[in-house]
Structure 1
């Protein structure tokens, strides 16, 4: 089996935006670093990222999920909870961190297009986290 070239590859999903300007402001408010702001907006989220695009289909957006694994979920929750995202962006209220049946502690955040973010606490010694 031939190996693919390895180096600085980075996978970034294309995320939907019902209202591109509102979604862009939402991610700026969350504190993601904006790397590009043109026809698309590229954001860095830790060591990964995503491309916010000017495309939207309700069924796709409301079934699109992102995972952000963090070292300190309580600090992230304090940050998110203090932003008043429902009041500022008319989104569903974030859900506080809770232990899930699959073994991760997760908080949930919804963006203006309906995309669901799972913000999870990394587990000590779990390499996939």
Structure 2
């Protein structure tokens, strides 16, 4: 028997749960509140659990890779949201071109590093 899955949903923390919830909603995720200290955020079939929990080493080492179809359009969309002006500590990079594909980086308000990328065609 082999393992078959429907989704994978990482758990991430937050330094300020309210600010992080607002950030991810502004980024375009839908929120389902699962308890007083946790929500599920999703775009289409992709999502994650945001917890009202701050463990510095965990946050400092949390990274999420979000594969997209059109990296340039995704970057423009996020730039137009002006999240770096609205939220303290949010950083957004330009596209980095690599041998495997391309990506840009977005740090959320508590420092979680998001990689938005697309792989080269095979």
Give the 4+ runs in structure 1 shifted more than 6 A.
none
CA-based RMSD:
1.8
How many equivalent residue pairs? 121
With the length of structure 1 as denominator, give the TM-score of the two structures.
Answer: 0.83
Structure 2: unaligned runs, 5 residues or longer: none
Partner deviation per Cα, 1:46-83 (whole Å, 9 max, x = no partner)? 43210000111112101100010000111110111112
Does residue 119 of structure 2 align to residue 117 of structure 1?
A: no
* 1:67 counterpart residue number: 65
With the length of structure 2 as denominator, give the TM-score of the two structures.
Answer: 0.88
Larger proportion of strand: 2
Cα pair 1:110 1:116 within 8 Å, conserved: yes
Structure 1: unaligned runs, 5 residues or longer: none
Partner deviation per Cα, 1:66-108 (whole Å, 9 max, x = no partner)? 01000011111011111222221112420011213x5220010
* 2:47 counterpart residue number: 49
